[in-house]
Structure 1
Amino acid sequence: MSKLATIRTSTGTRAVKLDGDQHIDLGFSDLREYFAAGSPAPAADAPTYPVAGADFAPVTQPSKVVCVGHNYANHIKEMGRELPEYPVLFPKFAETLLGANDDIVYPVETEALDWEVEICVVIGKEVRRATDEQAAEAIAGFTVMNDISVRDWQFRTIEWTQGKIWEATTPVGPYVVTPDEVGGVKPALEVKTVVNGEVMQNDNTGTLVFDPVFLVKYISTMITLKPGDIIAGGTPAGVGQARDPKVFLKVGDKVVTSIEGLGECVNTIVEG
């Protein structure tokens, strides 16, 4: 049973494990290195850091982030689309990621900045062409992502990537929570987005069209998933793009994306 994080310290980033009001140093600079080393127990004399005031870095520096679109039935309906037969996939890159409490600098190129709360699968073991059992074993845990989307760029073409890869716009964290703490590898957890105190999204991961095990199995068919890689599981209904009239983030807004048992990302939109 573990809650794991990567925090910023005066000597660089460190992979840590939550233990009461302290973080225990796991002996690695981030969780990607920790998972790749086989997730060893911390040393008996490992340094500790106070939880209070912790500066969370992105939970991992992944070799890849694979995002899933249209994975909640309600969101698919609000966007006017049919339920997909197969997962809708697009990439992100490590440069897009922020810590759970970092500010989000408003991109000057957009007038349509949107929120998307997502549960993320974090890979703990290398896996390719996984069986169901292998896919489940490869899941180190789950974390929270706010897949901030630049909608006016996203919909310039039928392919979404250009609206999803804006540098330093995607908070992820604060913790990677192991499956045993949240009901297993197919958890049913409340997901929520709150903007300036108003609830914008509220759903449950139990309604995912494609569950975490299926996603690991499916994606690993195409490409090797490595320790620290992230699969973002899609967002529920309530995005600003689908509202009438549309509602988008602006400078000064506070956006909180949370998932039951995993924690929350709390971010302020600031001027660049």
Structure 2
Amino acid sequence: MSAENDKTAAEFSQNWKLIKKIIKAEKPLIHHITNNVTVNDCANLTLNWGALPVMAPAAEESAQMVENAAALVLNLGTISSRQLDSMLKAGRRANELEIPIILDPVGVGATKFRTEAAQKILSELNIDLIKGNKGEISFLAGKAAEVKGVESIGEYSDIGKSAGELARKLGAVVVVSSEVDLISDGSQLTEVDRGHPLLGEVVGTGCMLGSTLAVFTAAAGSSSLSLFEAAKTAVYYYSLAGEKAAKKEATPARFKIEFMDQIYLLR
């Protein structure tokens, strides 16, 4: 390991010790209005980090539920008109209370409705962090993008530039989930080259990364860490858990279980 890598690992370790201490003391509540396909995985992963998950998609209670939360996750994976209404209600209340919002614009650009939902959220709410794949982030940045279903296809040689432009436009931290993850706050850009290909063989690892980012964002609010520092630390340890799991299991189903356990062991 190079001296520069040693320095980076030491920085992440220091950040994680601080975040872990806050999570243990505060057990932050993470409110999700999220993807029906991965809701159980996101709940378990949040719990494995040491935080408390709540999934309250009903428009009748979403705003009230967020009042006790430390972060709000909005995931467009299985978006509907009713779910969008709930997201906007919870998001407005979160903005009023200065509770951070994490947006996962799953599949934006694939359909007109999904695109309009993302645009409405971004126009009406202040979003603190956006996590997406290369296609989703490029699309939101106004660049050419190819999204097939909820998957990014095509080449994105300027994705770092696109992430920075989107971060500056929205005043948010942007996380690009890929083989090499990128994190930008509009003035800084960091790469996290960790993880394992098996993370891409399990449905929902992107959604679970969104939950992870919410946990770390919530903890950062009670620390001296910036949102940018918390986000890159979250991506690093999430990816590290993937590496550790892949050393023990080589097939997707078994890997997924081991990955969840490695998150728990990191805490």
TM bin, normalised by shorter chain, reads under 0.3
Highest relative contact order (Cα 8 Å, sep 6+), 1 or 2?
1
Kindly indicate which of the two structures has a greater share of residues assigned to helix: 2
Q: Normalising to structure 2: TM-score of the pair?
A: 0.28
More strand by share: 1
Give the TM-score, by structure 1 length. 0.28
